[in-house]
Amino acid sequence: MYSFLTTGNWPDYELLDAGNFEKLERFGRYILARPEPQAIWDPHLPASEWQRAHATFTREKGSQERGQWKLKPGMPEQWIINYDQAGLRLRFRLGLSSFKHVGLFPEQDPNWQFIYEQTKRRQATAPRVLNMFAYTGAATLAARAAGADVTHLDSVKQVNFWARDNMEASNLDGVRWLVEDAMKYVRREVKRGSKYQGLILDPPAYGRGPNGEKWQLEDELNEMLKLCKELLDPEDHFFLINLYSLGFSALILENLVSEIFPQSQGQREIGEIYLHDQGQRKLPLGTFCRFSTGG
């Protein structure tokens, strides 16, 4: 089933506008303006609304990612926002990074709900969940809040510290933290015969492991998904993958998943994730696939 996912009514987050390769967002009480390569249309709001931004990110010359934030007086470099949807209550520490990110991808809201609901279905057995490329841990915390035995894996130590801060802010504990190369780890887990009832992946287009291991999405994804099949409990599992890579079609993801996970046919949901602004334009922010069996 091809689907489009977007966030629900979230008081502490709003995409106000997008256009001219920028997006204007509100995180709690603060408004941010930052680059968005897929917003190729004109803004909906007048320039005066964009000038209300408390922080504006400007790229360095010659760089697609690096840059710096210009802050208005009173704008902190870190702050907390709340998330409270359908019984899932979390708190996130946000911060202004030199790569335009703030430590949270709010378009993932419907996937956090999926993780929370799928884990609750299995909470009587404390399902084992592995979250890879886990960043600051929103998906990890969604699983943990529903009672999962969660392993959080990311190759960047500082990001894991950030995720731990979010766990503590959300009054949770008990997450297993790993600073690892994802491919090396799943290969070892397959050899050990490990099984998980939940697997979550949000791999980047490219990246590096803690010891310089190279990750290139189009080169590694096929093998990664084959290894994930070996790790999933064959009788009872859920699976979620999200990709944000320009030009990486959901059809590519569908072909891979159909070949590697044929048993998911009929339960599989695949498509695009987006956010809508005040002008009701839909800003695409990635592709996803998710399915579950048993439970």
252 phi/psi in degrees, rounded to 5:
-60, -45
Q: Is residue 133 domain-shared with residue 47, that is, in the same domain?
A: no
Q: What is the CATH number for 200?
A: 3.40.50.150
- 75: how many CB neighbours lie within 10 A of its CB? 17
Asked whether the predicted pLDDT for residue 268 surpasses 60, the reply is: yes
Q: Is residue 30 domain-shared with residue 122, that is, in the same domain?
A: no
Domain boundary at 43, 61, 78, which? 78
**Mean of the per-residue pLDDT values for the chain?**
94
Q: What is the CATH number for 13?
A: 2.60.40.1180
Counted domains in the chain: 2
Q: Is residue 172 domain-shared with residue 246, that is, in the same domain?
A: yes
What per-residue string of b and e applies to 12-32 under the rule 16 or more CB within 10 Å gives b? bbbbbbbbeebbbbbbeebbb
pTM: 0.95
Q: Is residue 163 domain-shared with residue 238, that is, in the same domain?
A: yes
* Mean pLDDT computed over 125-137: 95
Determine the pLDDT at residue 79: 98
For 211-258, the pLDDT digits (tens) are 889 889 999 999 999 999 999 999 999 999 999 877 788 999 999 999
Q: Percent of the chain at pLDDT above 90?
A: 84
For 187-202, the pLDDT digits (tens) are 999 999 999 999 999 9
Query: Could you list the residue range(s) of the whole structural domain that residue 59 is in?
Result: 3-78
Q: Is residue 189 domain-shared with residue 128, that is, in the same domain?
A: yes
Domain boundary at 37, 63, 78, which? 78
Q: Is residue 229 domain-shared with residue 132, that is, in the same domain?
A: yes
